[in-house]
């Protein structure tokens, strides 16, 4: 079936069992928020007073539920306001998908109103970033974002989408599919485990520190 970019975003979230998202609307994100309204019977949107609060809420939601936290923001300062929450999730290995909307593709790189390269800003504090300026790349980018956020050491992934991709008249074929498989965890080396156990047994005052976040 053919859907516009905003509808594809919501369908991908539904594919991945997302029931709650956090965010704050803005100019370039209005198409997406129209779809959020249409999907309100499937996915609950929590409107915060500020994008930073939305990113912290998504982080806390992921910690409390074990699910992937999802946060939405508009371009420019809306997107940059997510940075502290994204950094927190990155340092504490919390799975999060941040979806930001940017200016139209034709305005990228031209210092358009509220244009910020949020993929560049967040590069050091995400596991991976996607910049989507073609609707045919949207579904795969979002599916891979969820896979990467939850694979290996968990963490945040950002998907930045130009406004023309989410336009109501920009349609593309959407086919539902299950979440992408994650790489299996590496097998434990029994010999190394025995060596660790022996080292702990022989120690006088052992301290064991482990975990993520």
Nearest-angstrom CA–CA distance, 175 and 116 = 32
Given this model, what pLDDT does residue 212 score?
Answer: 58
Contacts of 19 by beta carbon, 8 Å cutoff, 6+ apart: 42, 43, 44, 67
Contact between 125 and 165 under an 8 Å Cβ cutoff? The reply is no
Contact between 146 and 179 under an 8 Å Cβ cutoff? The reply is yes
The residue extents of the domains of the chain are 2-173
Choose which CATH entry (3.60.150.10, 3.40.50.970, 3.30.499.10, 3.30.1600.10) describes domain 2-173.
3.40.50.970
Nearest-angstrom CA–CA distance, 150 and 132 = 21
Given this model, what pLDDT does residue 213 score?
Answer: 52
Return per-residue pLDDT of the chain as tens, 213 residues: 999 999 999 999 999 999 999 999 999 999 999 999 999 999 999 999 999 999 999 999 999 999 999 999 999 999 999 999 999 999 999 999 999 999 999 999 998 999 999 999 999 999 999 999 999 999 999 999 999 999 999 999 999 999 999 999 999 999 999 999 998 888 889 999 999 999 999 999 988 887 655
Look at the block and give the residue holding tokens 């593709």. Answer: 105
Contacts of 93 by beta carbon, 8 Å cutoff, 6+ apart: 153, 154, 155, 212, 213
pTM score: 0.89
């Amino acid at each position: 079936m053919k859907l516009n970019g905003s509808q594809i975003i919501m369908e991908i979230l539904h594919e991945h069992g997302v029931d709650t998202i956090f965010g704050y609307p803005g100019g370039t994100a209005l198409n997406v928020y129209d779809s959020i309204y249409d999907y309100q019977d499937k996915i609950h949107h929590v409107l915060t007073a500020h994008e930073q609060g939305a990113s912290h809420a998504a982080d806390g939601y992921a910690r409390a539920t074990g699910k992937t936290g999802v946060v939405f923001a508009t371009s420019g300062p809306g997107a940059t306001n997510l940075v502290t929450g994204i950094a927190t999730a990155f340092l504490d290995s919390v799975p999060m998908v941040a979806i930001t909307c940017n200016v139209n593709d034709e305005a990228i790189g031209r210092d358009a109103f509220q244009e910020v390269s949020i993929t560049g800003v967040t590069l050091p504090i995400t596991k991976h970033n996607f910049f989507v300026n073609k609707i045919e790349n949207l579904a795969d980018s979002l599916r891979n974002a969820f896979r990467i956020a939850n694979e290996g050491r968990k963490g945040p992934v950002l998907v930045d989408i130009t406004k023309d991709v989410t336009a109501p008249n920009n349609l593309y074929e959407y086919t539902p599919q299950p979440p992408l498989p994650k790489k299996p965890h590496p097998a434990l080396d029994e010999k190394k485990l025995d060596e660790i156990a022996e080292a702990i047994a022989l120690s006088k005052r052992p301290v064991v520190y482990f975990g993520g976040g």
